[in-house]
Homo-oligomer: A and B are copies of this chain.
């Protein structure tokens, strides 16, 4: 219902209503995971919901637009590069989720390198009013590759249900709580 809230809360705002669109995309992503049609299987027989990484290409590009606004990034070239890097991170992330063996780790490393470049670009911008954004990126965004690494997609420290639960918490923090904080 978070998307209905953001839709009405932002009715008068100018430009793109990112908060509403992010939660709308996330809702569709969870509907597809619930359907269960498009999943891969890990070596240990655990289901891998790789479609979430396809949806993150869109939702996290929108979040990146919002972060760029808070950080005061004005250059269109810079914003385009950040969104391009996000699409690359999520694209190679998707490939890491659907492949296995050595390929999986190659794509995981490529995705991680692109992610590090991306967040370094964001974090090095010093803005007095945006210090909370850095905490948000450290705790929130960086949680995703860590869960990916520990889940059946990586070393398999825990199973698919725990991975699903952790990703749900991270999604709520990075997409819903973030947007609520942004509107204050």
Decide: A37 and B99 in contact? CB cutoff 8 A. yes
Complex CA gap A128/B24 in Å reads 33
Q: Which residues of B contact A85 (CB under 8 A)?
A: 21
Task: Say yes or no for A60: interface residue by CB 8 A criterion.
Answer: no
Quote the shortest CB–CB distance from A35 to chain B (angstroms).
4
Indicate whether A95 reaches chain B with its CB closer than 8 angstroms: yes
A103 contacts across to B, CB distance below 8 A: 31-32, 34-35, 37
A127 interface hit (Cβ, 8 Å): no
Q: A110 and B28: CB pair below 8 A?
A: yes
Q: Does A17 contact B (CB under 8 A)?
A: yes
Q: Is the CB of B107 within 8 A of A28?
A: yes
A residues lining the B interface (CB < 8 Å) = 7, 14-17, 21, 24-25, 27-28, 31-32, 34-35, 37, 58, 75-78, 80-81, 84-85, 87-88, 91-92, 95, 98-99, 103, 106-107, 110, 114, 117
- Which 5 pairs of residues, A with B, have the shortest CB-CB distance? A15-B77, A35-B103, A16-B81, A16-B77, A31-B106
